Amino acid sequence: MVNEIDLAALIEGPVFDAVYSHSVNPVLLMEAGPAEDDFSMIVRVSAPFSELTGYTQDEVIGKTPQLLHGRVTSTETSVRLRRAAHRQESISEELQICAKDGREIWVQVVFTPIIDTSKKAVFGDLQRHQPF
């Protein structure tokens, strides 16, 4: 379900802080790009995201998820994720990302749109897993 909210109030609010501080999954909040093929910009990440990827929140804020792409990251999957974010559609995909130290990690990416008044937010949940 897509809800229109005030993104700034959400990011700075106590409910959001509680979700981020208690989540066991790596979580990131992004601002969707203006065009369908533009990358979203990361605005916040959870501690488990930093533990999984090796990137601190300060290192990723204002960057795009392309920061996690490496030679093994599927371009086709990345395009599907970007387009779904722009269209405000939920999507779940398996994707291989690269940690800061170069480790290749398989994750299940679940993007859920959280639409603010500017229609820009995307909530991403990553779950580490092994491919079938």
The vertex-25 CA angle with 60 and 3, nearest 5°, equals 80
Element (H, E) at 11: helix 7-12
* Predicted TM-score (pTM) of this structure: 0.77
Domains of the chain in start order, with CATH, are: 4-128 (3.30.450.20)
- In eight-state DSSP terms, residue 102 is S
Q: What does the pLDDT average to over 8-33? A: 73
Structure tokens at 46: 């959870």
| pLDDT tens sequence across 111-120 | 887 766 655 5
Strand order in the sheet with 27-31: 41-45, 27-31, 121-128, 104-113, 91-98
Instruction: Specify the length of the chain in residues.
Output: 132
**What is the model's pLDDT at position 7?**
56
Q: What does the pLDDT average to over 61-76? A: 90
Q: Is 125 helix (H, G, I), strand (E, B) or coil?
A: strand
